[in-house]
A and B are shown apart, each in its own frame.
Chain A
């Protein structure tokens, strides 16, 4: 019997006991992770944990395991919670909402609705053709990748609850304001005309209708496997580069160029981040290493947001429904929002 089959509980008791046992194993692994690598690298191999090689290796192994554990736990939880929401329900909730209230709701729903950027185009058509205002739709499409479960897992694990809440709050504010601004600009003429002509036919199927707890848990396990399969190369490269910075980069190298002394640091970080295509898993180990080297949190969060919220592949997808002028405006408005948040964080946390 495969692991997956064994995990598929047959009775409610077995299901909850299995889930509880998994949680206990997860906590135990999370607790022994640091002592284990301290012992193996510092004790068994006799490396000095303050030396370059020692600290680099320790960072690499300890962070890989810690990040993998956090991703498994948090993606599972979020997927199970999100299985109570669906894009169809979100659209129904947004139908007939005015701008303003609509933008706030769309941003919040963008965070909690299960959604992948590969569905951005059909969702866009589905929203707009059903009469959801363009700016409200944009709020949803901005919030969804900007505030994502991978980033939440990693920021929480690496920096704690404070920066996580700041990140979620900032992402929501950017999505609300950017969507509202885009709506005010009346850019409907820059949407490909076929979107408004699309007839929504057929009955709507709510993809989460009739799910049992076993289905939801199964979806959680599948989502964890899928995401880990997809992001592990990014993650390893990110942690590898992070370990390199950790062990080898001179202490004041980054602060000299991108520290508090440089007023353009946030702006430059965002401009570099926009064309870069990675995901939160590849960026955050880097952010962690740079933070250790003394770079301010606002600059780093702005960099990460620019990387995950605005990417070339997503823009190419959206080009199917949006004209280049609207894509450019979209990038501009979101980038300005991210830069603003970066400076605000640096001022508040500084």
Chain B
């Protein structure tokens, strides 16, 4: 599973990356986490409000920093499938 955290480096993006890393460690799924800071690439995913989260090239969340529980709800079904 490849997880991308989209955001130019604002406080929200740092928070989202932190939450995501925590959840990945907790679930124990094999995942690489990358940061995408290029505006062209961010917009290319259809994102207009950072931060955003992309899992295996599919946009799963945009516009706000979710709670750890929300990230778990998103990642858990995806992780077990692969």
Residues of A within 8 A of B (CB): 86-88, 91, 114-115, 118-119, 121-123, 125-127, 129, 194-195, 198-205, 207-208, 219, 320-321
Most chain A CB within 10 A, of B44, B49, B57, B63, is at B49
- In the complex, chain A residues whose CB is within 8 Å of the CB of B77: none
Is B39 in contact with A122, judged by CB distance below 8 angstroms? yes
B25 proximal to A (CB < 8 A): no
Known contacts A125-B39, A198-B40; is A119 also within 8 Å of B49 by CB?
yes
Q: Mark B48-73, 1 if CB is under 8 A from A, else 0.
A: 11101010011111111000000000
A204 near B46: Cβ-Cβ < 8 Å: yes
Q: A87-B48, A87-B49, A203-B59 are in contact. Are A122 and B42 (CB under 8 A)?
A: yes
Q: Name the one of B48, B54, B57 contacting A119, with C-beta atoms under 8 angstroms.
A: B48
Interface of B is mostly: mixed
A-B contacts at CB below 8 angstroms, number: 76
Given contacts A125-B39, A202-B58, 11 further A-B contacts (CB under 8 A): A118-B8, A119-B48, A121-B8, A121-B39, A122-B42, A122-B50, A126-B48, A205-B60, A205-B63, A207-B63, A320-B39
A-B contact pairs, 29 of them (CB 8 A): A88-B48, A118-B10, A118-B50, A119-B48, A119-B49, A121-B39, A122-B50, A123-B48, A125-B39, A126-B43, A126-B46, A127-B48, A198-B40, A198-B44, A200-B43, A200-B44, A201-B45, A202-B44, A202-B54, A202-B57, A203-B46, A205-B52, A205-B60, A205-B62, A207-B49, A207-B64, A208-B63, A219-B64, A320-B39
In the bound complex, do residue A202 and residue B43 qualify as a contact, i.e. CB atoms below 8 Å apart? no
Q: Tell me how far the C-beta of B11 lies from the nearest C-beta in chain A, rounded to whole angstroms.
A: 9
Interface residues of B, count at CB 8 A: 24
With a cutoff of 8 Å between Cβ atoms, the chain A residues found around residue B45 in the complex are 201-202
Q: Please, which residues of chain B bring their CB within 8 A of the CB of A219? A: 64
| Nearest B-chain residue to A90, judged by Cβ | B48
Say yes or no for B14: interface residue by CB 8 A criterion.
no
Taking the closest CB of chain A, its distance from the CB of B80, in whole angstroms, is: 22
B47 at the binding interface (Cβ < 8 Å): yes
B63: A residues at CB distance < 8 A: 86-87, 205, 207-208
**Set of chain B residues within 8 Å of A320, measured between Cβ atoms:** 39
Contact of B49 among A123, A127, A129, A195 (CB under 8 A): A123
Whether A200 pairs with B64 at a CB distance below 8 angstroms is no
> Is B8 touching A129 in the complex (CB atoms < 8 A)?
no
CB distance A202 to B48 under 8 Å? no
Q: Is A202 within 8 A of B40, CB to CB?
A: no
Nearest CB in chain B to that of A201: its residue: B44
A339 CA to B6 CA, complexed, in Å: 38
Q: Mark B14-42, 1 if CB is under 8 A from A, else 0.
A: 00000000000000000000000001101
Residues of A within 8 A of B8 (CB): 118, 121
Contact residues in B for A194 (Cβ distance below 8 Å): 40
State how many angstroms separate the Cβ of A210 from the closest Cβ of chain B: 11
Chain A residues with CB under 8 A of B43: 122, 125-126, 129, 198, 200
**Structural contact, A122 and B48, CB atoms closer than 8 A:** yes
Closest to B63 in A: A207
Residue in B12, B46, B48, B49 with the greatest tally of chain A CB atoms within 10 Å:
B48
Are B47 and A126 touching (Cβ within 8 A)?
yes
CB nearest neighbor in B for A199:
B44
Which residue of chain A is the closest to B70 with respect to CB atoms? A215
- Least distance between A124 CB and chain B CB atoms (Å): 9
**Which of chain A's residues has its CB closest to B53's CB?**
A205
Which A residue sits closest to B10, measured CB to CB? A118
Closest CB of chain A to B59's CB: distance in Å? 5
Across-interface contacts of A88 in B (CB, < 8 A): 48
